[in-house]
Amino acid sequence: GAVVSQHPSWVICKSGTSVKIECRSLDFQATTMFWYRQFPKQSLMLMATSNEGSKATYEQGVEKDKFLINHASLTLSTLTVTSAHPEDSSFYICSAVSGRNTGELFFGEGSRLTVL
């Protein structure tokens, strides 16, 4: 199956700093990627839809200035958590649409962010 890779898989940062998480589709081009966040023992919450070459579409309640999404190429989308605070600590997961119309959405391994 298609492979989606996230980097870093885990990151620890100080409060007030910004953290960038990358999501790459390794063997296919993804015009659309999605970003989710997941708190412990909870389900995935959709944050935004990322389309190559255009602005991301954010879900209600997600601050676009806080969570900057860039989808500059067909194989890379980035999520930057700006001025991170402890409450931003979470598991961030991306997914990518392969365009093969298989009905399958491919997910990355997730990136665990801990803000001290």
Partner 1 sequence: DAKTTQPNSMESNEEEPVHLPCNHSTISGTDYIHWYRQLPSQGPEYVIHGLTSNVNNRMASLAIAEDRKSSTLILHRATLRDAAVYYCIPSSGTYKYIFGTGTRLKVLA
Binding site for partner 1 (CB under 8 A): 1, 4, 6, 32, 34, 36, 43-46, 49, 91, 93-95, 97, 103-110, 112
Segment holding 11, helix H or strand E: strand 10-13
What is the three-class DSSP state of 87?
A: helix
49 closest CA partner among 38, 65, 60: 60
d(CA 27, CA 18): 29
Minimum Å gap between C-beta 53 and partner 1 is 18
Minimum Å gap between C-beta 56 and partner 1 is 13
- Residue 62 vs 82, nearer CB to partner 1: 62
- Residue 14 vs 61, nearer CB to partner 1: 61
- Residue 6 vs 81, nearer CB to partner 1: 6
d(CA 48, CA 103): 20
Minimum Å gap between C-beta 25 and partner 1 is 13
